[in-house]
């Protein structure tokens, strides 16, 4: 895979990126080096890993602001690594994941999203698009709480869960629940209208204009994170002709 495009004018000041630490995980040494060189030139701090095992070792010692992970890697694929990050996080923070892949079929993208990836970029790609997507992930993670500014500081309770809207902090019985930025955005949207259904179209618009099919994927992922029985959800329910609703559980 060859990166395409030329280094262009910067939309974001490099100074705003100097404290942003990106983890790049790819078994292709040439592509890994190209990605590192380009992102460093864009002003990011970059650390690379040649495998899922190497990435895990780094994640146990350092904190990163985002990760760029290739899907096709030997021993442990990017999908498997991302599932590990989401299911057994060894750190108390959400790590935005951008998945790189040459597999561009819709089913492949859905598989990537279901694994917990926040975004999906097909190869070959323009380097500038890579940067824009990283910036979008970083803003999205920061923006989830701000999407509920009218309720800033409020704590929403449903069943055993409490969600602090200002910080995006979700806890169950005092234990922190690590959600992806997409999951947290979705939960925040539903929480703002507790017990009131929201249409798929409205949710899609608030989630940066994603497709309604992607809304369903995000709902499925979120249910797996918070429902004891995702097939028979207690909190996030689908209402025929009305969309989805977050129930207080009472």
Instruction: Report the pLDDT value the prediction gives residue 26, as an integer from 0 to 100.
Output: 94
152 and 125 in one domain? no
Query: What does the alpha-carbon distance between residue 250 and residue 248 come to, in Å, rounded to a whole number?
Result: 6
The CB-based long-range contact list for 231-234 (8 Å cut-off, 24+ gap) reads 234/159
- Assess whether pLDDT exceeds 70 at residue 108: no
pTM of structure = 0.54
Instruction: Report the pLDDT value the prediction gives residue 104, as an integer from 0 to 100.
Output: 63
Instruction: Report the pLDDT value the prediction gives residue 146, as an integer from 0 to 100.
Output: 34
Residue 113 belongs to what H/E stretch?
helix 106-114
Residue 192's domain spans which residues? Answer: 147-246
Query: What does the alpha-carbon distance between residue 27 and residue 77 come to, in Å, rounded to a whole number?
Result: 10
**CATH number of the domain enclosing 226:** 1.10.10.10
Query: What does the alpha-carbon distance between residue 55 and residue 130 come to, in Å, rounded to a whole number?
Result: 20
Query: What does the alpha-carbon distance between residue 238 and residue 250 come to, in Å, rounded to a whole number?
Result: 17
74, with CB counted inside 10 A (0-12, 13-18, 19+), is exposed
Number of domains in the chain: 2
- Assess whether pLDDT exceeds 80 at residue 230: yes
Q: Is 2 within the bounds of a domain?
A: no
Q: Is 3 within the bounds of a domain?
A: no
* Residues 6 or more apart whose Cβ sits within 8 Å of residue 159: 234, 235, 248, 249
> Which of 117, 143, 169 corresponds to the end of one domain?
143
179 and 135 in one domain? no
Instruction: Report the pLDDT value the prediction gives residue 109, as an integer from 0 to 100.
Output: 65
32 and 110 in one domain? yes
Q: Is 62 within the bounds of a domain?
A: yes
Query: What does the alpha-carbon distance between residue 115 and residue 140 come to, in Å, rounded to a whole number?
Result: 18
> Which of 109, 143, 177 corresponds to the end of one domain?
143
88 and 153 in one domain? no
**CATH number of the domain enclosing 26:** 3.40.50.2300
* Residues 6 or more apart whose Cβ sits within 8 Å of residue 2: 124
Q: Cα–Cα–Cα angle for 83, 70, 72, nearest 5°?
A: 90
């Amino acid at each position: 895979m060859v990166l395409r495009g030329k280094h262009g004018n910067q939309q974001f000041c490099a100074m705003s990126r100097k404290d942003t630490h990106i983890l790049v995980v790819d078994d292709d040494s040439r592509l890994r080096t190209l990605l590192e060189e380009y992102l460093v030139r864009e002003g990011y701090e970059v650390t690379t890993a040649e495998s899922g095992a190497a990435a895990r070792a780094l994640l146990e010692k350092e904190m990163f602001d985002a990760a760029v992970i290739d899907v096709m890697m030997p021993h442990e694929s990017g999908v498997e690594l991302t599932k590990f990050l989401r299911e057994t996080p060894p750190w108390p923070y959400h790590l935005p994941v951008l998945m790189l892949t040459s597999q561009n079929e819709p089913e492949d993208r859905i598989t990537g999203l279901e694994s917990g990836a926040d975004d999906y970029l097909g190869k070959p790609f323009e380097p500038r698009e890579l940067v824009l997507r990283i910036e979008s992930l970083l803003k999205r993670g920061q923006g989830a709480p701000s999407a509920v500014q009218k309720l800033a500081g409020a704590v929403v309770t449903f069943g055993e869960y409490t969600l602090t809207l200002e910080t995006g902090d979700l806890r169950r019985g005092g234990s922190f629940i690590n959600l992806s930025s997409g999951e947290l955005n979705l939960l925040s949207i539903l929480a703002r209208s507790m017990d009131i259904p929201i249409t798929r179209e409205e949710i899609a618009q608030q989630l940066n204009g994603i497709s309604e099919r992607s809304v369903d994927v995000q709902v499925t992922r979120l249910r797996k994170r918070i429902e004891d029985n995702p097939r028979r959800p207690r909190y996030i329910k689908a209402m025929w002709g009305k969309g989805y609703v977050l129930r207080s559980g009472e």
